[in-house]
Chains A and B, each alone.
Chain A
Amino acid sequence: MTSFALSPERELEFEKILSRYPNRQAACIPVLHLCQEQHGWVSDEVIQWVADRLGLSSAHVKGVVTFYTLFNQQPVGKHQVWVCRTLSCALAGSDRILHHCEKRLGIHAGETTKDGKVTLRTAECLASCGTAPMMQVDKIYHEDLTIEQVDAILDRLTR
């Protein structure tokens, strides 16, 4: 047994997820999302918990976690900022957006601010190419970005 446990509401969601698939393994990715939503990242305890509850080996779950970029393998900041840098966004100036974020936050892409508020990352095409440049902040897309809008967003996150 591990020290990790889902909240009662998330336990209900866990059961709902399981009901959608013909086997327990298929719930692996949605359940990892559920755990990460609560815990902020996927720790060894989370991996063990998921493995136990889904009847999988922890090696299997670990293999899944390391394959997908959206599972955090270390603690991250309170807010997640992803700046898309693929071609359509690059053509619209995503480099300038990214540099501005780095300067404003005082960190490089891939890092978290010292106060633990913001993790800044680059992303590959987020299906928002017609409204480039764009960035994703937690679950929200911010599109057709200007530097002023980026400033307003970062102000809110770092306040």
Chain B
Amino acid sequence: MLRQTKYLSKHYDVQDGHRLSVYERDGGYQQAKRALQMDRQALVDDMKAANIRGRGGAGFAMGVKWSFMPWPPKPDRPHYLVINADEGEPGTFKDRTLMEKAPHLVIEGCIIGCFGIGAHAAYIYVRDELHLSKERLWGAIEEARAKGYLGKKPFGIDYPVEVYVHTGAGAYICGEETSLLNSLEGKRGEPRLKPPFPAQYGAFGMPTTVNNLETIAAVPIALEMGGDAFSKLSDLHNIKDGGCRLYGVSGHVNKPGVFEACVGLTLRELVYDLGGGVKHGELLGVIPGGSSCPIIRPDDVVDAPDPKSPLHPWHGKSALDVPMGVDTYRALGTMLGTCCAIVLSDKVDPILAFHNLMRFYRHESCGQCTPCREGSAWIFRILDRMVAGQATLEELDRLHEIADNIMGNTICAFGEGTAMPALGFLRKFRKEMEQSIRTKGKSSTGVLAP
């Protein structure tokens, strides 16, 4: 259900909202100060109760992730908090708004996060192109340090915390957490095999928690409210998907943008109520949470007769009316991802949209694994031929095989992130593709931007 909130975005429209004076006027840094005096276990328990599901795409429970850190920290094995602000998933533009407009919320979250996982240093990994974001984060760090909220004794409490901004250099794959860690260490950003997981062997070989930037920004809010109360903001509290979060919508809507709402918003509400409805015609499909999430069509109907399915309450209804949650969307056969949707109107040629995305994945594969490197290139080549009206029906079937062969056969989830949306397009637009092949491309509109 649509319930807009103003916690993360409290200062988005406020003059100088990114400055410490404004942030503090509204109670900023009180939670960091309180957290540093809490019992660590109590803090982690409260964050578990908040049911903050990772906002970076995979939706893992943040509090549970914190609890994976070895305890107590060993003096020769310092812990690190690493914040993922690589924001590279096509269609995603939410973390940037926090960095630009609420940098102190991020820094406060980092202080609490450091304490929660036993770290004394946090690195915020920001993609290089986001110059204003980096500037705002550094500015907030300087302001906080000048006030004594960072450094050797934050708020006069004997728990040193430093926060640094680290920058990438243009590689989508560095958003994958182990690739990001290699990049932070000054190496090529190639993903690492897991296990070992970052909690055992992360940044600089030390125990590390990687949290998305929006995930960590939710922490001061959840702590102020109390974990359980925060979780209950959500319609999906019972299935451990709590709180409020940022939703983005771009593409063919009248009012694209980033909106904050309680978890449990539906795609229909995001597109029509927040996004102002579809422009350039009727709805063809929505890519719900960044380009790696399989597309949803408005005529998709929920098929969940089993009362145990998280989707059962919406059995027989349109997929657009299912609350956007980590588990509900997984059960739908897609993914919640970053909650930033891309809307396609029916003037769009779905083959061209598919082609555009697969070009992206071919370009961004790091090349370590053969199925990903060769598969992404092969998919793109066939789509190139399809767009030119030269593909055959055998090649259409080949696309399925190539995508299937990527699934489960790669070092990192980029492979699935390529194969799943490909399979999604293939399933949902099979008819259109067959027809395009039969007519040598004449049945396609050839339009992406009406």
Contacts and interface: CB of A to CB of B under 8 A. Distances in A.
Interface stretch (A7-15, A106-114, A129-137, A150-158): A129-137
A54 B187 CA distance: 13
B169 A86 contact: no
B356 A127 contact: no
Given A29-B167, A67-B171, A90-B356, A130 B93 contact: yes
Interface of B: 78, 87-93, 95-96, 127-132, 162, 164, 166-172, 183-190, 204, 248-252, 256-258, 287, 291, 340, 342, 344, 348, 353, 356-357, 360, 363-364, 448-449
Interface string A26-39: 11111011000000
Contacts of A70: 128-129, 169-170
A88 B251 contact: yes
Most chain B CB atoms below 10 A, which of A23, A63, A67, A136:
A67
A91 B131 contact: no
A129 B169 contact: no
B368 to A, nearest CB: 11
A136 B128 CA distance: 12
Q: Enumerate the 9 nearest inter-chain pairs by beta-carbon distance, A residue then B residue, closest first.
A: A28-B186, A68-B169, A70-B170, A69-B170, A129-B250, A93-B449, A25-B186, A67-B188, A125-B90
B250 A132 contact: yes
A76 interface: no
A147 interface: no
Contact of A124 (B96, B162, B344, B360): B360
Nearest to B171: A68
Interface string A63-81: 1100111110000000000
A139 interface: yes
A136 B129 contact: yes
Contact of B166 (A30, A69, A126): A30
16 contacts: A25-B185, A26-B204, A28-B186, A29-B169, A63-B187, A68-B168, A68-B170, A90-B356, A91-B344, A124-B172, A125-B91, A128-B96, A129-B90, A130-B93, A130-B257, A132-B250
A19 B171 CA distance: 25
A91 B448 contact: yes
A71 B127 CA distance: 13
Contacts of B360: 86-87, 124-125
Contact of B128 (A33, A125, A130, A131): A33
Nearest to B99: A127
A70 to B, nearest CB: 4
Given A91-B250, A130-B258, 20 more contacts: A20-B166, A22-B204, A23-B185, A28-B187, A29-B168, A67-B189, A68-B171, A70-B128, A70-B129, A88-B90, A91-B348, A91-B449, A92-B449, A94-B449, A123-B129, A124-B172, A124-B360, A125-B88, A129-B340, A136-B129
Given A87-B91, A90-B449, A130 B188 contact: no
A23 B89 CA distance: 30
